[in-house]
Structure 1
Amino acid sequence: MNTPKPLGSSARPAVHFTAPDGWLNDPLGVTWRDGRYELFYQALPGANAWNPRCRWGHATSPDLLTWTHHPIALEPGDDELGCWSGGLVLPDLASALSARVYYTSVDEPDMDLGTVRLARPADDGWQRWDKGPIVVTPPPGEDLRVFRDPVVLRDGDRWRMLVGAGYRDGTPAVLTFVSTDLEDWTYDGVLASTRTSPTGPLPSAQAWECPQLLQIGGRHVLVVSTWRDGTTHDVLAGVGSFEDGRMRVERWQRLTHGAGHYAATEFVDAEGEPCLLFWIREVADLNGAWTGVLSVPYRLSLDNAITDQVRLTPHPAVPAPGADSRRSGVRHLVLADGSAVGLTPTDHNSSPVEVRYERGTVTVTSHGAQTVVHDAPGPVHVLVDGPVIEVCTGTALVGLGTRP
């Protein structure tokens, strides 16, 4: 797991979610219910660097921007080292107690090969969760190096679980399991891997983490986060068709550039629109009070004129361009092709950042290093929120923190 350098000032961002204290990484189980959003996330209270003893933090919000923190929802017991990433499913919208969390339970000596454990809510507010049994283990016959990050979705008259995986030969994959009752699961093979990709070489990966499968119109989109050599890298989206438990990707797209966004989680907002939320790695409090932030939410659509290219747009909840930044705490700029903006951080110890949009290419320059995104359709959104900067090119994201 990457450990970010101490970037930015000690001020918290206004609309980017941070843990009350300590470490934060993957967002999990975002759910709209009873007039509010539920958010879970990987948390390490009191820590300013990752370690394997992760918990599930919990917060709620009416608008995806202002959050109320709640007690830790899940924490490791005597029989596990950490409660790692997973997902939440709510089979009966009228019953909060019907919810199920499926998370990666890890232990030594091989934490990369996790198991999937079930947890049920002990109250309607999802404040406390009772752990159940391990329901899925790495399938026999698959020579796996990595197995983690389950998510569950409805597939016709049954349930389907996706789990991120990587083979010992270096092939990343998403494996899949099926169930009729959310209790007993049967292995159903490989949902997708680089061996099944018809679109040529992809960014190098030894495993795909945090798999998400969503539908936009009549098309399906598989979102995966790439892991190799023990570190996190990029987020990819594959557009195609999902049928009979297999995802046939026709077009892959890189959604993130640089060392910012990772571990995307999919959710449906209050208006029923598909969205993604990301962990931004390279931001932390200089005084060590908090480390890591979540991105603002992004709505997804498909540009059918460009062979089903995934489009990302800051969620309408985000302060609009031109809004009073003194009131919202966020500066939201929109760049037209042929323009640039220099961002001078309010912290005098931090260096300026330049974002340039020219002839369809976005270049973000910070501390002499450049992140370049080609074929950017625009409009290019630039969000500045205290120590956090997000750049949305229309089809990809660049995230960073200002740093000394």
Structure 2
Amino acid sequence: MVPHLPQHHHAAGRAGHRDGRHPHLPARLEPVSLATHGRTVREPAPGHGRSPVLLPTRRRLGSNDGLREPDHNSGPRPLPLLPARVHRKHRLQRGEGVNTAKPLGSSTRPAVHFTAPDGWLNDPLGVTWRNGRYELFYQALPGANAWNPRCRWGHATSPDLLTWTHHPIALEPGDDELGCWSGGLVLPDLASALSARVYYTSVDEPDMNLGTVRLARPADDGWQRWNKGHIVVTPPPGEDLRVFRDPVVLRDGDRWRMLVGAGYRDGTPAVLTFVSTDLEDWTYDGVLASTRTSPTGSLPSGEAWECPQLLQIGSRHVLVVSTWRDGTTHEVLAGVGSFEDGRMRVERWQRLTHGAGHYAATEFVDAEGEPCLLFWIREVADVDGAWTGVLSVPYRLSLDNAITDQVRLTPHPAVLAPGADSRRTGVRHLVLADGNAIHLTPTDHNPSPIEVRYERGTVTVTSYGTQTVVHDAPGPVHVLVDSPVVEVCTGTALVGFGTRT
């Protein structure tokens, strides 16, 4: 039995903006009902208080409308990469270490999607509800617009998952390691903040794909700083591994269980597991799951599984993994089945994400005790270079037993709470019923139209001239438009992308 435990998220923050409230995270969203007559509906795009920039729809879109390249096919395709000028900035920084980051007050920041105070952000980590607020950690590179291996753990707190206070960097690499990569947080004694433990991936040259698991303890009740301890887990001998990283820790009966993402040199992705009675000494306990024991069928499984998460919903267990292949991040999968004696027996796999947006899911339990997921959304960046990367809005999880234990995703109630002035905040929440579509027209920052169409159970998202198709969408389809980022939730899968060039 695996109860819901606080979990693991990557963080960012920087000295110049420590403890400052985010000026652009003010409000909840107000649902905007769409017409049910089957016509394409156009909604104003976020304008930061400016007048709507969308034009009215004059006719229903036909099968030959939209941006479609001659060699385009109608099947699922990944969303395109960031525009060339953003990538040029990234390449320049990799080669010359140029700092192009701007301060927290950039007007192009999203309103309800978390961003670092400045610089790069990726995986969320260690989200924990305690003392009336959420603790969030995340992978961060302050002052940099491109990833490099010297990642830190940033830290922020929020009473409502929307309004965040940034804190100083919680963990950063020292002389004995190159980076503090992803991991998890466990709080064994809910009454004692100092009982918390962070287990993170410590990496160094020459092979950063094979990390080690290092322990850190809080230096204060507010979890502002963490004291790094010793390495507690290394890649197990005898396993021919190519990848080993991203530990998380769960309570399993009368002992603790650690999961670590892994990949074998023969291309088999896996989650390895270790056990401990005291959170200090860990013993290798074999393979929790892999494609050898739980094949994913036609779904892309990757060559390694990153950011493993194991949670229980009712009587069922859900294993969530992020797939990695050829050095590239890909999709997030969920496997529903049973967990017993350290082994996860997946009976049904499901693809939770489509396209090049959502990745690195982390599980947490909200203030109401409900299981949730939070994602990193890739390829979203400030047009002026202030920040790169956002976190998704949180999603509550449930199982639809009528559809063979299918995992259902719903935007968190904190995001959808009615009554807020969504037009003032520049955020749109659109709800699509089957037979409807929305079409965001071009703007100065996004010269390519964006369309989300829901028809006969299929959601088609067109952006930058490419299409992402999600079949068997139960709906209703939620579309969140938040300045530079769009999220589409089909009920069982997510699509996310940036809107700026």
Q: Same fold (TM over 0.5)?
A: yes
Q: Please state which structure has a larger fraction of its residues in strand.
A: 1
Of 362, 369, 381, which aligns to 1:265? 362
Gaps (5+ residues) in structure 2?
A: 1-97
CA distance in 2, matches of 1:228, 1:3: 30
* Residue aligned with 1:317, SS: helix
1:28 equivalent to 2:135? Answer no
CA distance in 2, matches of 1:44, 1:334: 35
Tell me which structure has the larger Cα radius of gyration.
2
1:141 equivalent to 2:241? Answer no
Q: 1:323 to 1:352 in 2, by over 3 A?
A: farther
Q: 1:374 to 1:349 in 2, by over 3 A?
A: closer
**CA positional deviation for 1:287:** 1.3
Q: 1:373 to 1:71 in 2, by over 3 A?
A: same
CA distance in 1, matches of 2:459, 2:103: 26
Q: Per chain length, whose mean CA-contact separation is higher, i.e. which structure has more relative contact order (CA < 8 Å, sep 6+)?
A: 2
The number of aligned residues is 404
8 A contact 1:4–1:283 mirrored in 2 = no
**CA positional deviation for 1:204:** 3.8
CA distance in 2, matches of 1:374, 1:290: 33
Q: 1:4 to 1:362 in 2, by over 3 A?
A: farther
Identical aligned residues as a percent: 93
Of 435, 447, 455, which aligns to 1:358? 455
Q: Which moved more, 1:340-349 or 1:328-337?
A: 340-349
Q: 1:321 to 1:370 in 2, by over 3 A?
A: farther
8 A contact 1:24–1:43 mirrored in 2 = yes
Q: 1:180 to 1:348 in 2, by over 3 A?
A: closer
8 A contact 1:3–1:50 mirrored in 2 = no
Of 293, 315, 320, which aligns to 2:412? 315
**CA positional deviation for 1:9:** 9.5
Q: Deviations over 1:76-130 (max 9, x none)?
A: 0000000000000000000000000000000000000000000000000000100
Gaps (5+ residues) in structure 1?
A: none
Q: Deviations over 1:309-331 (max 9, x none)?
A: 00000000003478532234320
* Residue aligned with 1:4, SS: coil
8 A contact 2:199–2:248 mirrored in 1 = yes
Q: Deviations over 1:288-345 (max 9, x none)?
A: 1100000000000000001000000000000347853223432000000000001236
Q: Deviations over 1:244-266 (max 9, x none)?
A: 00000000000000000000000
8 A contact 1:103–1:116 mirrored in 2 = yes
Q: Which moved more, 1:345-354 or 1:376-385?
A: 345-354
**CA positional deviation for 1:161:** 0.1
Q: 1:43 to 1:198 in 2, by over 3 A?
A: closer
8 A contact 1:220–1:242 mirrored in 2 = yes
Q: Deviations over 1:357-399 (max 9, x none)?
A: 0000000001210000000000000000111100000000000
* Residue aligned with 2:423, SS: helix
Q: Deviations over 1:269-293 (max 9, x none)?
A: 0000000000000200111110000
8 A contact 1:239–1:252 mirrored in 2 = yes
CA distance in 1, matches of 2:193, 2:435: 50
Q: Which moved more, 1:280-289 or 1:388-397?
A: 280-289
CA distance in 2, matches of 1:249, 1:29: 25
**CA positional deviation for 1:201:** 4.1
CA distance in 1, matches of 2:325, 2:295: 22
Q: Deviations over 1:123-156 (max 9, x none)?
A: 0000010000000000001000000000000000
Q: 1:237 to 1:7 in 2, by over 3 A?
A: farther
Q: TM-score, normalised by structure 1?
A: 0.96
Q: Which moved more, 1:194-203 or 1:37-46?
A: 194-203
Would you identify which runs of 4 or more consecutive aligned residues in structure 1 move more than 6 Å?
1-9
* Residue aligned with 2:292, SS: helix
Q: 1:51 to 1:351 in 2, by over 3 A?
A: same
8 A contact 1:88–1:100 mirrored in 2 = yes
- What is aligned with 1:121? 218
Q: TM-score, normalised by structure 2?
A: 0.78
8 A contact 2:156–2:164 mirrored in 1 = yes
